Amino acid sequence: MRVSDHTKGGLAPIAGGLPPEEIIFGRSAAMISIRQKVHPILIQGENGTGKGLLAQYIHSRSALSSGAFVKVNCAAIPGALLESELFGYEKGSFTDAHTSKPGYVEMAHRGTLFLDEIADLDLSLQAKVLQFLQDGHFSRIGDKQERQAETRVICATNRDLQTEIEAGRFRRDLFYRINVISINLPSLHERREDIALLADYFLKQLNTRFERDTPTFSEENIESLSCREWRGNIRELENVVARYAILGSLDTAEAERLPRPSFGTPFRVAFDGTIPLKRIAKEAVRVMEGNLILNALRENKWNRRKAALALNISYRSLIYKIREAGLSPRNSRKARQGQVPHDKAEGLQ
């Protein structure tokens, strides 16, 4: 029985397997210390720090690695449904229960059950999870038969569970059960020495996925990346690298300096369910809009009132979009020659 083995995430696993250990852990001292004590644990850390990836790593190195790794996002499933998703149900146990269905616990038999965002569990369900952790027994909804599963349970959260306990939202006994060893994953700004390593890794993976040859990051790019706050942690870094690989820029302000991909030839993409199409489309529209606004400004010698008329939008909307896109007179040839844009001469801001 391994239900007493307990242990969330931002570095998304690349299709085809986990990244190498040096990518998961990097070179920072904080991550090296974690690498040395990966045992049954409760993983805590901000969103996007790689908690889910670390859980997969632990599973892959465990005695149950040949079994399934089953991830359950406790925050994404309404409390009323989560119990049936976790423990399953019998036919006729509730409306629309036309057949019996095993839950995630059974699916993870002789494997690993990853309870992501465990702090979002309802108190009543916390009690049932605690009971399962104590003896490995559970029952499907509507079933009197008691079942048993040999499952390793890994737990993760981005909240301070001690605060949740004091607020009455998390059971203290459940906390003690899952908190055998606690690991707090550092945020990305606490491990800046790993940014270049991670960025290069993401870029190589994206180049392979999109069959492109996007240039590697320059020293100026890496310095720029290293100076950011990274409130979204590794997930934000991955998104920024994806933007660079697809659109050829780290941000709109750098679009003029960095190499741009050709949109004449469509991307060749393997449709394997991993492509963030909405994100790419939204970013492409944003960049295209920025280019249109920049062209209108240049054609009107940076007179923003005339540019607004040319674009058939209000002056206020244009000012907002200019600020949002990070455009400035530096982008125009006349501005680079030291001339003041016409609308600034009129005192416009």
Q: What is the DSSP string of 13-28?
A: PPTTSPPPHHHHH-S-
**pLDDT band with cut points at 50, 70 and 90 for residue 210:** confident
Taking residues 286-295, report their average pLDDT.
Answer: 80
Taking residues 214-242, report their average pLDDT.
Answer: 87
pTM for this model (two decimals): 0.60
Of residues 287 and 194, more confidence is placed in 194
3-state secondary structure of 242: helix
pLDDT at position 98 is 83
CATH 1.10.8.60 domain span(s) along the chain: 191-331
Taking residues 309-325, report their average pLDDT.
Answer: 83
Pairing type for strands 137-138 and 147-148 reads antiparallel
Paired tokens of 179: 């908190």
For 14-49, write each residue's pLDDT tens digit. Answer: 444 667 766 666 767 766 555 544 445 799 999 999
CATH architecture of 191-331: Orthogonal Bundle (1.10)
Whose structure tokens read 């870094």? 237
DSSP lists the bridge partners of residue 6 as 153
* Cα gap 39→181, rounded to integer Å: 8
* Cα gap 178→132, rounded to integer Å: 12
Paired tokens of 279: 């994100």
- Angle at the Cα of 152 from the Cα atoms of 161 and 160, rounded to 5 degrees: 10
CATH 3.40.50.300 domain span(s) along the chain: 21-186
Give first-to-last CA distance, the chain, whole Å.
Answer: 69
The answer to whether 201 and 161 are in contact (CB under 8 A) is no
Fold of 21-186: Rossmann fold (3.40.50)
Residue 296 CB contacts under 8 Å (≥ 6 apart), including other chains = 307, 310, 311
Taking residues 175-186, report their average pLDDT.
Answer: 87
